[in-house]
Structure 1
Amino acid sequence: MTPLQCANEIAAFLRNEIAADEEGVQTIFFDKPPETEDIRVFVGFLPRVSTNEEKKKLCPAIVVRPETVSDTDEGSSVKLLFSVTTYDEDEESGYISFYNLLEWIRFKLLSNSPIDERWNLQDSLETVVPDEQPFPQWWGYLEGIFTLPQPRKTYWRNLGGR
């Protein structure tokens, strides 16, 4: 099982939670028109776009990607980055649905670990919201460390009787 497989399966989990929790997701965007309520979940990176209209079509979005992998004698782990972006031209309160989406993700990850009975969240999540925002997009991320199955060492035996 690879770090990318972990990211893919946790992204699938978030997609399923979004589909199953329509009412909860709608409360995040209670003041938005229906066309902006579809939360997209990507693995890897957000597709590159150049215009505000293209940015608006991608949002809101969650991007799950492996950031670092650690292998020690005690076990293996992957730090996943959950990048979150919303689009709102309201300069005063456009950030509210962004923060609500961050909290929704945090709640789902913390309350469902191990995810799919396989991916265990270690310790806690860290949420970061940079001061500089690419307005009218709002952006931030969560980081969490998940346990990976530990690769096993292979010991070769001399089967020739030596």
Structure 2
Amino acid sequence: MTPIVMLDQLVERLKSIVSNFELPSNVEGVKKAPQVLAGYLPEKRQNQDQPDLPYVIARFLGDNETDEQATATVKIIVGTYSKDQKDGWRDTLNVLTRIKQELLARPVFGGSFLVARPIKTELPEEHPYPEWWGTITLDVIIPQMEEEGGF
């Protein structure tokens, strides 16, 4: 199993977790569930009528293979939109918390991948208002490569 397969399976899991949210978007009057993507957001275009916020991005950071197990480090980035300068951060934290709770309650996804503890959640102090963002960083135990042949 490759990290790409793992990310694609994680995206499917994240879609099911956030599908019931109805959050403000960066298009006036439009509320929607976050779009969920692997890697990066597509390039923004001027006069865009499709909102790019809110979003959830699953990003591969690296992997580690030992004799005991193989793990991949993933960062889940959540972005929301709110013009409320006092409480705009709440939607981001709510989405992050729901994702974390669901991954801890059911840590196996895609049949072969296991979310490992610890899970780290961060909500930075600075935000590009009216956009708000936060992250979850976690390790996923992935199937280990088997050595073929001998010397």
Residue by residue, what CA displacement relative to the aligned partner does 1:3-54 show, whole Å, maximum 9, x if unpaired? 12111101011113334xx3xx34xx49xx9722221001011223266x75
CA RMSD of aligned residues (A): 2.4
Measure the CA separation in 1 of the matches of 2:41 and 2:132.
Answer: 14
Greater strand share, structure number: 2
- Alignment match, 2:17: 17
- Alignment match, 1:160: none
Equivalent residue in structure 2 for 1:82, among 73, 76, 80: 76
Structure 2: which 5+ runs fail to align?
Answer: none
1:103 pairs with 2:121: no
- Alignment match, 1:154: 148
Conservation of the 8 A alpha-carbon contact between 1:127 and 1:140: yes
Measure the CA separation in 2 of the matches of 1:4 and 1:79.
Answer: 12
- Report the residue type matching 1:155 in the other structure: G
1:130 pairs with 2:112: no
Equivalent residue in structure 1 for 2:133, among 122, 129, 139: 139
Residue by residue, what CA displacement relative to the aligned partner does 1:44-91 show, whole Å, maximum 9, x if unpaired? 11223266x75x811110000111110111111101110110011111
Please, what TM-score do these two structures have when normalized by structure 2? 0.86
Greater helix share, structure number: 1
For residue 108 of structure 2, give the secondary structure of its aligned residue in structure 1.
coil
Please, what TM-score do these two structures have when normalized by structure 1? 0.81
1:144 is displaced (CA, Å) by 0.8
Residue by residue, what CA displacement relative to the aligned partner does 1:98-143 show, whole Å, maximum 9, x if unpaired? 1111111111111111123321111221011111111110011001
Measure the CA separation in 2 of the matches of 1:136 and 1:146.
Answer: 32
Conservation of the 8 A alpha-carbon contact between 2:7 and 2:38: yes
For residue 57 of structure 1, give the secondary structure of its aligned residue in structure 2.
coil
Which of structures 1 and 2 has the bigger CA Rg? 1
- Alignment match, 1:8: 8
- Percent of pairs identical after alignment? 22
